[in-house]
Structure 1
Amino acid sequence: MTDIPREPDHRIPVGISACLIGEEVRYNGGHKRHRYVQEVMGRHFRYIPLCPEVAIGLGVPRPPIRLVGDPERPRAVESDNPERDSTDALAAYGREQAHGLHGEISGYILKAKSPSCGMERVKVYDHKGMPSGNGRGIFAAALMEQHPTLPVEEEGRLNDPAIRDNFVERVYVYDRWRQLVAGGLTAGRLVDFHTRHKFLILAHDQLAYRELGRLMASAGEADIETLAGQYLKQLMAALSKHASRRDHSNVLLHVAGYFKRHLDADDRQELSDTIHAYRRGEQPLLVPLTLLRHHLRRHPEPYLANQQYLDPFPRELGSGER
């Protein structure tokens, strides 16, 4: 009997805390399955699940751990037996995974409030057992320190549409970057990558837009590996900033200018009214973007057609606000 060939999995590889996709790895033998993360995002992301506490041998079930000491440099210890300290093991595992997954994943979703995986606002306790501040999970801190440009988010924050849109957008940009690197870095390919993301960058950070443009001006002269490292660092920092309605509106108006000579007075007015309605908060971003894509189909503009801003990720994953 001939095997039926399997369809290739084109989903984007993303690391994730294993409990979020239903694996029973928590200290009490349970899980924290997140329906949206697994059922919706999982149609586009291929998850690589990890549980650092299980990985370092703490077992299931196990005594819970918590962060203690200095919130800037907390220790992860067993709640009822502070002598059992897992800090170094969790940090080492975080560094190991950051190294092993480097270039293999395009994002990471962490379990919120976890002493190992929490990205932020994890309770830290003093020697009396009282909350003394907030810190970051030990594994998460090591992972993010070793892999600073990787898009990372917590499942709890993904319930906020604006935060979710920003994370998904960064994951898709980072995945395109991985494809660029895999295909071989050249000055020409780097400049092309930047060109396709210009309006996306502009919506997030005008200063970074100008700085990255100047960086690309040296693409033919600078060492390509060094230049690419600088570019990625500045790019991901820029995209992590929230793009306001005003920022988006300025980019939308800029895009609309490409159609000025193609549209009649009524179409131009409709487009302008739609963009300003979005700016006033009366419509989601999806409305002017859809109208611009409509005009692009009717009046093809190669430069605009290549801009990731107009369609940065599958619409199923977006709130429409971005």
Structure 2
Amino acid sequence: MSEMMDKPSIPVGISACLLGHKVRYDGGHKRSKYCLNVLSDCFDFVPLCPEVSIGLTTPREPIRLVGSAESPRVVGVKDPSFDVTDKLTAYADEVTASHDQLCGYVLMKGSPSCGMERVKVYHENGLPNEAGRGAYAAQLMKNNPALPVEEEGRLNDPVLRENFITRVFAYYSWKQEVLTNPSLHEVIQFHSRHKYQVMAHNYEAYKQIGKYLAEEAASLPLEDVLDSYILQLMTALTKRANRRTHTNALMHIMGYLKRDIDSETKQDLLEAIDEYRTEKVNLVVPLALLKHYLKRHGSDYIRSQAYLNPYPHELGLRNYI
């Protein structure tokens, strides 16, 4: 993966145990080969362990979530009077303030502090309650609703993996292209480059965001537009694209070639897109063909679409979806 070393090194938070740091309650780690061996070539990981950061030792008494699934307390398994909920929440606030450069976050699955979802919550009597979210993760995500967040275990799913990495690169681009010199013009230009990316994930959001920028944004304070737009965009991209929605985006992009390609080429493209739609090939096949003809015949506008190159091709993510 050395070819990616000249690509942007994007700051992404990560549960320290996933990088092999021995910070877990039992003195061990949960080293992630994918994060270390693949994603570290394009992500500049910032390892964080909320439990160690609030002063807990390694090894230590295990903790768990107790109470309501919506707002559980984080207490000791053996000593329920040992409560670190407020410290974990305060640390999430501290990280939010001190690490505003982060463009994503990879969390440890099932952790009472870092778990993103489906973390075990117990009633006071010890019986299982509905699942919830780790206290640190919950506060971090509340503070940063647009921040791309995913659990390491879910990155084994090709669709979820591609979705997360797409969001991280989009968020990074937003910070680099818009927030360095913010203006409504820059927001509109950014959205123009990401239109088909949004379409592939959420067609309704594609229409709603376009309407917002065309009809409302100009009358609103710029700071409100910046906050609203990026939250709308990242929320839209959180919805997983599928073969039907990708096919729709591919067909729209192909429309920009209709006047410049012959009927035989058009048929080749249509067949490649249909083979993808019917699960005979993966997304990389029609995209490679489409990009070949766009390079020769496409306008600057359509070639600039983030959907065509949302992240370094060396990651090979579209080979599996």
Fold match (TM-score > 0.5):
yes
1:49 counterpart SS class: strand
Partner in structure 2 of residue 59 of structure 1: 57
Measured against aligned partners, the alpha-carbon deviations of 1:160-183 in whole angstroms (never above 9, x if no partner) come to 010000000000000011113442
1:281 counterpart SS class: coil
Write out aligned runs for 1:164-179 (5 A).
164-179=161-176
- C-alpha separation between the residues in 1 aligned to 2:8 and 2:261? 38
Q: Is the 8 A contact 2:117 2:132 kept in 1?
A: yes
Q: Which runs of 5+ in 1 are unaligned?
A: 1-6
Measured against aligned partners, the alpha-carbon deviations of 1:92-140 in whole angstroms (never above 9, x if no partner) come to 11122122222x0100000000000000011111223232221110100
1:82 counterpart SS class: coil
Partner in structure 2 of residue 126 of structure 1: 123
- C-alpha separation between the residues in 2 aligned to 1:9 and 1:75? 42
Write out aligned runs for 1:45-194 (5 A).
45-102=43-100, 104-194=101-191
Q: Is the 8 A contact 2:18 2:108 kept in 1?
A: yes
1:179 counterpart SS class: helix
State the Cα distance separating 1:210 from its structure 2 match.
1.3
State the Cα distance separating 1:39 from its structure 2 match.
0.9
Partner in structure 2 of residue 249 of structure 1: 247
Measured against aligned partners, the alpha-carbon deviations of 1:36-84 in whole angstroms (never above 9, x if no partner) come to 0111011110001100000000111111111111111111111111111
Q: Is the 8 A contact 1:19 1:32 kept in 2?
A: yes
1:269 counterpart SS class: helix
Write out aligned runs for 1:297-316 (5 A).
297-316=295-314
Does the C-alpha gap of structure 1 residues 219 and 131 become closer, same or farther in structure 2, counting only changes over 3 Å?
A: closer
- C-alpha separation between the residues in 2 aligned to 1:71 and 1:301? 52
State the Cα distance separating 1:263 from its structure 2 match.
1.5
Partner in structure 2 of residue 200 of structure 1: 197
State the Cα distance separating 1:267 from its structure 2 match.
0.9
Q: Is the 8 A contact 2:178 2:190 kept in 1?
A: no
Give the aligned residue type for 2:162. Answer: D
Does the C-alpha gap of structure 1 residues 8 and 254 become closer, same or farther in structure 2, counting only changes over 3 Å?
A: closer
Q: Is the 8 A contact 2:107 2:116 kept in 1?
A: yes
- C-alpha separation between the residues in 1 aligned to 2:310 and 2:98? 28
State the Cα distance separating 1:220 from its structure 2 match.
4.0
Alignment match of 1:265 (pick from 252, 260, 263): 263
- C-alpha separation between the residues in 2 aligned to 1:32 and 1:247? 35
Q: Is the 8 A contact 2:13 2:102 kept in 1?
A: yes
Q: Is the 8 A contact 2:109 2:152 kept in 1?
A: yes
Q: Is the 8 A contact 2:256 2:298 kept in 1?
A: no
1:178 counterpart SS class: helix
Does the C-alpha gap of structure 1 residues 313 and 188 become closer, same or farther in structure 2, counting only changes over 3 Å?
A: same
State the Cα distance separating 1:219 from its structure 2 match.
4.3
- C-alpha separation between the residues in 1 aligned to 2:92 and 2:289? 45
Give runs of ≥4 in structure 1 deviating > 6 Å. Answer: none
- C-alpha separation between the residues in 1 aligned to 2:237 and 2:171? 10
Q: Is the 8 A contact 1:191 1:219 kept in 2?
A: no
- C-alpha separation between the residues in 2 aligned to 1:219 and 1:128? 52
Calculate the TM-score normalised by the size of structure 2.
Answer: 0.94
Q: Is the 8 A contact 1:71 1:133 kept in 2?
A: yes
2:131 counterpart SS class: strand
Partner in structure 2 of residue 18 of structure 1: 16
Q: Is the 8 A contact 2:115 2:133 kept in 1?
A: yes
Calculate the TM-score normalised by the size of structure 1.
Answer: 0.94
Q: Is the 8 A contact 2:257 2:298 kept in 1?
A: no
- C-alpha separation between the residues in 1 aligned to 2:116 and 2:313? 27
Q: How many residues matched?
A: 315
Measured against aligned partners, the alpha-carbon deviations of 1:175-199 in whole angstroms (never above 9, x if no partner) come to 0111134421112111110000000
Does the C-alpha gap of structure 1 residues 312 and 65 become closer, same or farther in structure 2, counting only changes over 3 Å?
A: same
- C-alpha separation between the residues in 2 aligned to 1:146 and 1:255? 36
Partner in structure 2 of residue 3 of structure 1: none
Q: Which runs of 5+ in 2 are unaligned?
A: none
